[in-house]
Structure 1
Amino acid sequence: MGLRIFSVMGEALNFGGRRMETIARVSWLPLILSMLASLAAVFAMLSVIAGRLITLSDVPTFLGAQNLVARNAATGFQNDPAAMWAITLASLAAQTLLTASFMAPLIRYAGLGEKPAPGVLHAPFGPDELRYVVSSFFGLLFVGVMVFGPLAAASFYTLKYVAEALGQTLAVFPDPESLHTIEVTKASEQLAEAGRSWIYTRAIPLSGALPAALLFWGILFFHFAPKNRPKAHPVGKMFLRALTTFFVAAGLMLTAYFFFAEMVLTEFRSNMTFLGILSAVGGQFTAVDFSGFLNAFEFLLESPSGRLIFFSIAAFFIVNYISLRLFPYPGVAVCRKSLALGNTLAVSRGWNILRLWVIVTAISVLLIVIQVVVLNQFLLSYILPRVLGLLYQATAVSTKLVNSGETAEWVRPLFVWFWNLTKIGINIVWSFFSFGVVAGLYGRLYRESEKAR
């Protein structure tokens, strides 16, 4: 059964809007605690970087503190990596546990109709919350860290060590009659002299990029097998499916490569750590000009660094494919009270994976655009300031009439506080709505998995 895109999106948005009171009641305390945890983590990092205690008296704004951390984080990790990593991991753990404390009951409400317990102080952590944490970690991080982490590390170090081996100086005896005539050269130079430099410049880097690309093609080929498409012919046209999935996989990876390669290399061109990593695998990119398609394609064919980036692109698509297949898993795990996959994969079988991608992408873009553009750039930066300005002028004028022509001292502080509390309140309310939409989506996907039985 195919996912109905507008039905699923509509139910998720409807849940976020109609259950706002319950969502706010359940999530306001964890949200505040999460903000405090973020604040503490930022100032703790600043203290580590500065080597002394940094407080709000030193940096009066949270945004300013964040900017300082962003600019000086490398220094902190270099000087005291243990403390920086401890703060980072503690902050992530706190954010995860607090998020689970309200997302798990909201998902059960959306999926099963079980209304959260009454009261306004909620920050529970029990079996449901633990299942949410584990299933979310499995879906988002298990594949990336525990599966592709070792794969990416193995590929990187394989390329690194082979490149180092080829770069090692060797003792060559050009005169076989005299073992005392020694010429120092490099293995890569010997390969070039023998006409086999392609081993160093093409075959070795390709050994990492090509298997990842072929794996992504194979995933698409088997994903769209006839058994996964209800209306497809049982036998299917294997050659046509192989050809179609090949061109789709190649098109996606090449498009992403040409889009990201220039951006990545431009960003890290002056980063000596990144240059060192690339040089370890034979990176050659400083003379590459990305002014056209052919130059970028030449970089892919000629430079080991280009193929390292292409491998990353292929791995990115594979990780995202598996993450999308496992996207309904938190809803299934929480509502079924079990970490068994159940029919999680059935939700995204066949063409449903494209429908699910459209649903997730459309909801994400909608929430981001409304919060960033509509609320913060249009409403809070253009409309409401003008309305509030008129109210301020009217209030100031009215106080002058009874205050000998002077504006009362309380007017400006009152409006400043009112304006800032309004901006904070609007963004918090929108956060509540966003939480509800995500919970509503998980609840609906759980019911879709149950239908697949």
Structure 2
Amino acid sequence: MELRIFSVMGEALHFGGRRLETIARVAWLPLVLSMVATMAAVFAMLSVIAGRLITFSEVPTFINAQTLVVQNTAAGFQNDPAAMWMIMGANLAAQTLLTASFMAPLIRYAGLGEKPARGFVRAPFGPDQVRFVVSSLFGLFFVGVLVFGPLAAASYYTLKYVAEALSQTLATFPNPDSLHTIEINKASDQIAAAGREWIYNRAIPLSGALPVALLFWALLFFHFAPHNRPRAPAIGRTVLRALTTFIVAAGLMLVTYFLFDEVVLNEFRTNATFLGVLSAAGAQFTSFDFSGLGDAIDFLLRSPEGRLIFFGLAAFFVVNYFSLRLFPYPGVAVCHKSLALGNTLAITRGWNIIRLWVIVTVLTLFLVLIQILVINQLLLSALLPKVLTLLYNATAVSTKLVNSGEAAEWVRPFFVWVWNLTKIGINIFWSFFSFGVAAGLYGRLYREGEAA
């Protein structure tokens, strides 16, 4: 069984467009409730930060409230950490349950042709929704707790003790003819003075992440075994496969590590370039306060314990491997009405894991770029404002003819409301399409597994 990239992407996009009316009917209420829950969580955290109840009367816009929360999150955790964690957990649970309420019936519609139940006001939660939530979280929970928990602990404490050893003070005698002249230095300073700081900055962190790197290599080695590749020769070339997968695994991790170390750190240090990219891509991100973020990343990359960042980068590839292998699982679980894996792993066997990565990446980039660049930058920031301005001016002039040369008072508030509702409506409309694409992809992957 071979995943056909364009066929799978085409069906997912087709389902999102062709069934848009049904998707909107099923998803509109959970989406509205999700927005309300997010708004409530933001103002609840803002109240914890301020130490008193904060409402719209004091912070008139939701964007301003979000910005204030981002800038003062640390203060909230200092004031009442239990309340902050409770609010964040409650919001996450609400978002998860509301998403599951419409994704489960849409996946069954895409995979089995089973049309969602009738009704315009619906936010159901039953066994199908439970299976969607559990199957979506199972892979991440399993990998995070059972695999990376012990590895992270071992690496952390190893580097911690190495850091303690390097921070110990040592007595040196700079003048060999006088034992009374003593200098007190740290071991790390002596290593740097001797030109061997690469041991401190590179070798030790890399060795701390070695178990995860070897795990990633082993996963690639066994994943591309001959029995997982239909047209591969029966007798595999083990040495060649081991060498190839080792080069790929090492190359991916080292390139990512040094790219993160040198490029991303410099971007955050300068701050201007990175925020400029965010400004061009998004608009709302520029209102966030990134001050101090460069120092935090500098700590991660330069301090001995902070060098665990490489462990995180190595773990990133392993987590993504398992995530791709288990990506079709929600569709299989919902359509089969069972949490059994079924044919989940068969869908991503062999080269299909690369094909699935291409499918998910292209669809994600397409949806995000259309929403950010086409809808919000081109349509809502350039084209529609000009059209609405013409309509506003024409309406204002027409009311002056019957209102003694003055524009009617209702004109401006009316067009302000029309403009804001238009922006909200277009983005919600695109969200419905995006939900449909995701459901269509899960449904198609379920059928691919059945065919396998």
Say if 2:347 is the partner of 1:353: no
Q: Which moved more, 1:140-149 or 1:97-106?
A: 140-149
Q: Which moved more, 1:46-55 or 1:198-207?
A: 198-207
Secondary structure of the corresponding residue to residue 121 of structure 2: coil
Q: Over residues 47-100 of structure 1, what are the superposed CA-to-partner deviations in whole Å (9 max), with x where a residue is unaligned? A: 111111111111111111111111110121123211111111111001000100
Determine the structure 1 residue equivalent to 2:278.
Answer: none
CA distance in 2, matches of 1:338, 1:257: 40
Contact 1:143–1:323 (8 Å) recurs in 2: no
Q: Over residues 269-288 of structure 1, what are the superposed CA-to-partner deviations in whole Å (9 max), with x where a residue is unaligned? A: 956777777787366xxxxx
CA distance in 2, matches of 1:202, 1:360: 34
Structure 2 unmatched ranges of 5 or more = 172-183, 270-290
Contact 1:326–1:344 (8 Å) recurs in 2: yes
CA distance in 1, matches of 2:50, 2:207: 45
Within the candidate set 281, 300, 325, 2:304 is matched to 281
Determine the structure 1 residue equivalent to 2:95.
Answer: 95
Say if 2:140 is the partner of 1:119: no
1:326 Cα deviation after fit: 0.5
Determine the structure 2 residue equivalent to 1:238.
Answer: 238
Determine the structure 2 residue equivalent to 1:370.
Answer: 370
Runs of 4+ in 1 over 6 A off after TM superposition: 184-192, 196-203, 271-280
Determine the structure 1 residue equivalent to 2:143.
Answer: 143
Q: How does 1:436-451 map to 2 (within 5 A)?
A: 436-451=436-451
Q: Number of aligned residue pairs: give it.
A: 419
CA distance in 1, matches of 2:199, 2:425: 61
Contact 2:45–2:87 (8 Å) recurs in 1: yes
One-letter amino acid of the counterpart of residue 122, structure 1: R
Taking structure 1 as the reference length, what is the TM-score of the superposition? 0.85
Determine the structure 2 residue equivalent to 1:221.
Answer: 221
Structure 1 unmatched ranges of 5 or more = 172-183, 284-304
Q: Over residues 205-245 of structure 1, what are the superposed CA-to-partner deviations in whole Å (9 max), with x where a residue is unaligned? A: 34322222222122111111111110000112222222221
Determine the structure 2 residue equivalent to 1:405.
Answer: 405
Taking structure 2 as the reference length, what is the TM-score of the superposition? 0.85
Change (3 A) 1:282 1:150: closer
CA distance in 2, matches of 1:363, 1:95: 22
CA distance in 1, matches of 2:246, 2:134: 34
Determine the structure 2 residue equivalent to 1:70.
Answer: 70
One-letter amino acid of the counterpart of residue 119, structure 1: G
One-letter amino acid of the counterpart of residue 33, structure 1: L
Contact 2:261–2:301 (8 Å) recurs in 1: no
- Aligned-residue sequence identity (percent) comes to 75
One-letter amino acid of the counterpart of residue 252, structure 1: L
1:144 Cα deviation after fit: 3.3
Determine the structure 2 residue equivalent to 1:387.
Answer: 387
Contact 2:397–2:407 (8 Å) recurs in 1: yes
CA distance in 1, matches of 2:185, 2:257: 36
Q: Over residues 167-199 of structure 1, what are the superposed CA-to-partner deviations in whole Å (9 max), with x where a residue is unaligned? A: 56799xxxxxxxxxxxx998889999xxx9998
Change (3 A) 1:201 1:275: closer
CA distance in 2, matches of 1:187, 1:379: 60
Contact 1:164–1:280 (8 Å) recurs in 2: no
One-letter amino acid of the counterpart of residue 361, structure 1: T
CA distance in 2, matches of 1:110, 1:254: 40
CA distance in 2, matches of 1:425, 1:190: 63
1:310 Cα deviation after fit: 2.6
One-letter amino acid of the counterpart of residue 226, structure 2: P
Q: Over residues 378-423 of structure 1, what are the superposed CA-to-partner deviations in whole Å (9 max), with x where a residue is unaligned? A: 0111111111111112212221222222211111111111111111
Q: Which moved more, 1:261-270 or 1:102-111?
A: 261-270
Determine the structure 2 residue equivalent to 1:47.
Answer: 47
CA distance in 2, matches of 1:24, 1:123: 12
CA distance in 1, matches of 2:367, 2:232: 36
Change (3 A) 1:261 1:278: closer
Change (3 A) 1:397 1:186: closer
